[in-house]
Structure 1
Amino acid sequence: MKVNKSVWGFLAIIFILLLVACSNEETATDKEETDNSTTKSTEPADPFGKYEETITIAIGQEVDPSDTSLQDGDTPLDNQYTRHVMENLNIEVEHAFTASPSNYDQKVSLAIASNDLPDAMVVGPVELRQMVEADQIADLTEVYENYASPAIKEIIDSSNGVALDSVTFDGKIMALPNSQAGADGVHNLWIRQDWLDKLGLEPPETIEELKEVAKAFVEQDPDGNGADDTIGLAGPDTSNKLYANFIESTNNLYGFDGIFSALHAYPGYWLEGDDGSPVYGSILPETKEALEVLREMYSEGLIDPEMGVREDSGESIISGNTGMFFGPFWMPYGPLTDAVKTNPDANWQSYALPLDSNGEYTPHLSTTTTQFVVVRKDYEHPEAAMKILNNLLANESEFDPSIGGPGYYPLRLVYAPADEMEVTTVALREVLAGTKQPEDFYDMPAYKLLKSDVDTIFDVKLEPYDNMAIQYWDIENHLGQWTRAYSALVGTAPLVDTEINGVKSLIYSQTKTMEDRWVNLKKLEDETFLKIIMGTEPLDSFDQFVEDWKQQGGEQITNEVAEAVQ
């Protein structure tokens, strides 16, 4: 068939146009890929980069109403920390909600249940898993890889995978984990040394001696005011626990951790049983024995009679009514600063006591990772949370805790090498003794406060430099520096000077059945044990608790823990 030449010409033109269009499309695609590649390679993410325009981040924050450390004119939202974040990063911090320590977890749970999350907040492992399963939070894999500072990555890597494993779900990093000093998990015995001296007593090395000291503190008027108003041993308030547990293994204030551990009881921890299989410490005979000891102490008036209903046990320490309590090394950051300001003669000293029947110190030990920053799924600047954390670690030595405690820093997580406080204590001792100079410790960036510590120690420590009694400190010269130095040289000293035969939990995270059952099981445990100690239930109710615990999911959970350990 003969085709008209004009038709061939028309078809040829169409063909040429199609070739040009395809060529242009390929060129545009290549150019776009080249541009993207260029952007990624020539403009790397800056962990400390300041935004050109101010951005806002609305956070949930714990605010302790009893904390009076803020300087005049400052507020929980306008203080040295929030101003620093604004000046360095151009990030304006807002509050989506605030809550007291006793109500913070409840506020977080309400936010999760209502799907009304702040842009970012600090949560625990239970809440993290809930939000991952509800698909409420952002995948922070690229944020961590691109924006985490080298120092934070170094500290997290030092956890041997524990920190990142705790936030990794299906291969994605779903939160920013903390990694902290191991000292946070050991709860020393803090004692009014001036009371011991006045009554001619020694620090109690055994449980029996602890009872004797508590009895003397209650009955012999150690504060000398002629009133029957002293407390031998503090107990947990409504914000704290009878003992730390595998989910919350650090920083338990005013609990009885030291008494349980001295009796080889580790309630709340997963231990290796006699047959090698996991067993929950709260259901073992040693825990029942410890509860009996505490029950006797409470009935004899040796423990705070308002235990469990008192809103803040720290108030009785600040007022000078309490003689002993259990707490971590950093208690000068807690009530002890106000206690010494109220009474400069309150000589609080820290001891790795009581010991077990073999004369050994056997505390439970914590995991390095306990808290996490999560970011709302649709928040447009997820890297802002990482930058805020980088900023704290890099500049923490600039802040003065005496004009606002570190809890006011937005989205604060603790980042520290596992041995941070022990290294600090030894360094300060060497500088005070003159065997080393401050500059010998300058090139240790992971120990973020060490340079400031060694540079300022002579501003607050008076001679004799090897005596840590309160009268040999110049607190008024710089209260913030005193707080840090006292935490190291008094709070951490027992951990440096004592051989610690610590006990770890087999796991520090939840299993599948725990997600549904653990809240009720923990409530059963807490209520039963508190009632036993306070005498409102007989000691043998412990046996019924064990049976109920097993039947209500404990046995299934134990099997899951065994699988997880394997």
Structure 2
Amino acid sequence: MRFRQPLLLLFLLVVCLLVACAENSSTKDGGKSESENENEVSSEPADPFGKYDETITIAIGQEVDPSDTSLQDGDTPLDNQYTRHVEEHLNIKVEHAFTASPSNYDQKVSLAIAGNDLPDAMVVGPVELRQLVEADQIADLTKVYENYASPAIKEIIDSTDGVALDNVTFDGKIMAIPNSQAGADGVHNLWIRKDWLDKLELEVPKTIEELKKVTKAFVEQDPDGKDDTIGLAGPDTSNKLYANFIESTNNLYGFDGIFSALHSYPGYWLKGEDGKPVYGSILPETKEALSVLRDMYSEGLIDQEMGVREDSGESIISGKTGMFFGPFWMPYASLTDAVKNDPEANWQSYALPLDANGDFTPHLSTTTTQYVVVRKDYEHPEAAMKILNNLLAHESEFDPSKGGPGFYPLRLVYAPADEMEVTTVALREVLAGTKEPSDFYDMPAYKLLKSDVDTIHDVKLEPYDNTDIQYWDLDNLGQWTRAYSALVGTAPLVDTEIKGVKSLIYSQTETMENRWVNLKKLEDEVFLKIIMGTEPLDAFDQFVKNWEKQGGEQITEEVAEVVSE
């Protein structure tokens, strides 16, 4: 019996060694400890466009605009040309964890964060991104970006000189996939029914005073033949009085152009006379701009239902509105349906109004405003990156008239800062015959340029240098939407010297995380009431005092620290 005990001990020792080796081998070969398994990228080869062998699902939060009627018969927000393309090319089936209208999307995101009930992936803004990082609810996407971001996306993000990645990097980790958009998105042009100007024998208004006269003529002389004309549209419940440093792009139907023509930049952080940062909303120029808007509203020149109207685009589509402020891509919004209903609705875009010196002085945006985040522990974090790669590579193949680009899952905009200006110049050169379409083929970062130059003759009629609506073929509204955005929407930005103003910062400071929501709500409510006449103009002065006391002074000090770094 004596020999058995040493043998037993030897046997147990061998077993332990075998188990330890197996565990070590498992870890090396793909088995993972709990800490290693967390948020790790799939072990498949790092192909940015690789199709999964077996179908995987990704449940997303998605903004769905109920006023967007561009989907073809039978298509839905979950079953359309975009989702089918993703499934066909990547073997990724998209599901909806939640959907929300533009006015409710941020609230849905906030509820998901508060309840720690995130979809597998969703698009968020800078405020929500910071909240998600602090709550430790989202995946580290450093390896996802490094291994799976397509070369074209990396090229575009690199063109921001580090801004895009800086905005999503926390403690050295890339916690979200940033967008990078064309600079034109941040400039809000004045869109006017030129056919109404012609009918009333009016010139394009260059100053605010001229704009008021034209607006008055639209309202009182009813060029549409009906006594219901809106001279100048106002923001609806989904949009803002003006863009701000956190949401610096794509504000529809706000009054951005009027503020900037008066050198008022509410919502932006500016350099004060003493060289220190100051918040544009509390400056005297903003009070002056509010006074102008207040007078226009009281005279009936501005939409009397602004602020409570659910969709200002409806008044444009129905032909009731004569002018509005918006970005170059408005054909993708309300204008395509507007010309579908009335092919003579000659909407033209202008870099107006000008300031007292005759300069165009709009506010300018940051290049990065939206981010895709992935739920912590979702087993395929690289799937979100592949979906974005797929959009950039194939966007020119989609027809926006069969479903607007907003229906693409997890859509982020990727574009070089000068994408639209380059496109406009290229189209002009092809139409003039000074360049061939093939001259623009080898520019992959300009994702739609090849399609643009190849198809421009399908929609633009002669004379090529006249962009009035009668010189376009409206039979193919999908191609028209894109071409009109370039040759009409972007043209003023190419032809005008822009003396734009940037915000000193486009992100939040520490105190903003707790105070900004209430401060912004205070600002929005007071300014809207002043414009609509339910509060006196001098309510602005009390607003400034309240803003400073309720955290504004401390936030200003923090902004000064950030700017000085």
TM-score bracket, normalised by the shorter chain, equals over 0.9
Deviation at 1:12, TM superposition (A): 10
Q: Which amino acid aligns with 1:297?
A: M
* Residue type at the aligned position of 2:552: G
- In the aligned structure 2, how far is the partner of 1:540 from the partner of 1:218? 29
**Match of residue 36 from structure 2:** none
Q: 1:370 to 1:15 in 2, by over 3 A?
A: same
- What is the CA–CA distance in structure 2 between the aligned matches of 1:80 and 1:524, rounded to whole Å? 42
Identity of aligned residues (%): 84
Q: What is the TM-score of this pair, normalised by structure 1?
A: 0.94
Residue 213 (structure 1) aligns with:
214
The Cα shift of 1:32 comes to: 6.0
| Amino acid corresponding to residue 96 of structure 2 in structure 1 | H
1:131 and 2:138 are equivalent in the alignment: no
Q: How much does 1:18 deviate?
A: 9.7
Rounded to whole Å, the distance in 1 between the matches of 2:550 and 2:490 is 41
Matched with 2:168 is: 167
Give the equivalent residue in structure 1 for 2:551: 553
Cα distance in 1, alignment partners of residues 14 and 111 from structure 2 = 59
| 1:494-538 residue CA offsets vs partner (Å, 9 max, x unmatched) | 000000000000000000100100000000000000000001110
**Residue aligned with 1:65, SS:** coil
Equivalent in the alignment of 1:90:
91
1:49 match:
50
Q: Give the Cα–Cα distance (whole angstroms) in 2 for the partners of residues 153 and 59 of structure 1.
A: 24
Q: Distance in 2 between matches of 1:56 and 1:27?
A: 35
User: 1:219-249: per-residue Cα shift (whole Å, max 9, x none)?
Assistant: 11211x2x31111100001110000000000
Q: Does 1:155 align with 2:189?
A: no
The answer for the alignment partner of 1:370 in structure 2 is: 369
Deviation, 1:28, is 6.0
Aligned to 2:414: 415
Alignment of 1:364-513 (within 5 A): 364-476=363-475, 478-513=476-511
Residue 121 of structure 1 is matched in structure 2 by 122
Match of 1:284 in 2: 283
Give runs of aligned pairs for residues 28-67 of structure 1, distance below 5 A.
35=29, 44-67=45-68
Q: After TM superposition, list the pairs within 5 Å mapping 1:237-316 onto structure 2.
A: 237-316=236-315
The Cα shift of 1:23 comes to: 8.3
Distance 2:357 2:6 in 1: 99
Name the SS for the 1:317 alignment partner: helix
* Counterpart code for 1:111: A
Over residues 168-203 of structure 1, what are the superposed CA-to-partner deviations in whole Å (9 max), with x where a residue is unaligned?
A: 111111111100000000000000000011111111
CA displacement 1:525-553 (0-9 Å, x = unmatched): 00000000001110000000000000000
Q: Distance in 2 between matches of 1:109 and 1:43?
A: 33
TM-score normalised by the chain length of structure 2? 0.95
CA–CA separation in structure 1 for the residues paired with 2:76 and 2:248: 30
How far apart in 2 are the matches of 1:314 and 1:415? 25
Match of 1:72 in 2: 73
Counterpart of 1:514 (choices 512, 515, 536) is 512
Q: 1:355-401 CA deviation, whole Å, 9 max, x = no partner?
A: 00000000000000001111111211111111100100000011000
Mean alpha-carbon deviation: is it higher for 437-446 or for 142-151?
Answer: 142-151
Deviations 1:300-319 (A, max 9, x none): 11111111111100000000
Measure, in 2, the Cα distance between the counterparts of 1:19 and 1:313. Answer: 78
Distance 2:143 2:128 in 1: 22
Separation in 2, partners of 1:71, 1:30: 55
Residue number in structure 1 paired with 2:339: 340
The amino acid across from 2:547 in the alignment is W
Q: CA RMSD in A?
A: 2.1
| Distance (Å, rounded) in 2 between the aligned partners of 1:15 and 1:55 | 48
Q: 1:35–1:428: structure 2 CA closer, same or farther, 3 Å change rule?
A: same
String of CA shifts for 1:95-143, please: whole Å, max 9, x gaps.
Answer: 1111111111111111111111111111111111111111111111111
CA–CA separation in structure 1 for the residues paired with 2:5 and 2:75: 78
Specify the SS of the correspondent of 1:393: helix
Partner of 1:200: 201
Structure 1 letter corresponding to 2:553: E
Q: Distance in 2 between matches of 1:191 and 1:98?
A: 33
Give the AA of the match of 1:262: A
Give the equivalent residue in structure 2 for 1:145: 146
Choose 23-32 or 283-292, whichever is displaced more: 23-32
What CA distance in whole angstroms lies between the structure 2 residues aligned with 1:542 and 1:19?
A: 81
Report the residue type matching 2:282 in the other structure: I
| Structure 2 segments unaligned to the other structure (5+ residues) | 32-40
Structure ID, larger Rg: 1
Give the distance between the partners of 2:6 and 2:331, measured in 1 at CA: 87
**1:492 alignment partner, SS class:** helix
Counterparts of 1:43 and 1:307, CA distance in 2: 52
**1:44 offset after TM fit, Å?**
3.5
Query: What's the offset of the Cα at 1:20?
Result: 7.4
- CA–CA separation in structure 2 for the residues paired with 1:104 and 1:12: 70
Write the letter of the residue equivalent to 1:180.
Q
1:102 equivalent in alignment to 2:103? yes
Alpha-carbon separation, structure 1, partners of 2:315 and 2:8: 91
User: Whole-Å Cα distance in 1 between the matches of residues 508 and 109 of structure 2?
Assistant: 18
Q: d(CA) in 2 for partners of 1:303 and 1:142?
A: 51
> What does residue 349 of structure 2 align with?
350
Other structure's SS at 1:293 match: helix
SS in 2 for 1:323: strand
Cα distance, 1:74 vs structure 2: 0.4
Q: Residue 340 of structure 1: CA displacement?
A: 0.1
Alpha-carbon separation, structure 1, partners of 2:306 and 2:77: 29
The Cα of 1:29 is off from its aligned counterpart by 7.8
Partners of 1:516 and 1:157 in 2: how far apart? Answer: 32
Give the aligned residue type for 1:144: Y
Aligned to 2:37: none
Comparing 399-408 with 145-154, greater Cα deviation is found at 145-154
The amino acid across from 2:180 in the alignment is S
Distance 1:266 1:43, change over 3 A: same
For 1:518 and 1:475, locate their aligned partners in 2 and report how far apart those are by CA, in whole Å: 46
**What is the rounded CA distance, in whole Å, between the counterparts of 1:233 and 1:18 in structure 2?**
86
Q: C-alpha distance in 2, partners of 1:21/1:65?
A: 65
Partners of 1:32 and 1:321 lie apart in 2 by: 69
Corresponding letter in the other structure for 1:524: L
Give the SS at the match of 1:232.
strand
Q: C-alpha separation between the residues in 2 aligned to 1:308 and 1:12? A: 87
CA deviation vs aligned residue, 1:447-484 (integer Å, no higher than 9, x gap): 000000000000001111111000000011x1111000
2:200 and 2:6 mapped to 1: Cα distance? 110
Which deviates further from its counterpart, 13-22 or 310-319? 13-22
Supply the distance in 2 between the matched residues of 1:43 and 1:122 (Cα, whole angstroms). Answer: 25
Q: In 2, Cα distance between the equivalents of 1:345 and 1:80?
A: 30
1:92–1:200 Cα change, 3 Å: same
For residues 27 and 437 of structure 2, the distance between their equivalents in structure 1, rounded to whole angstroms, comes to: 52
Q: Structure 1 CA distance, aligned partners of 2:342 and 2:177?
A: 41
* Separation of aligned partners in 1, 2:523 and 2:10: 81
CA distance in 1, matches of 2:263, 2:444: 38
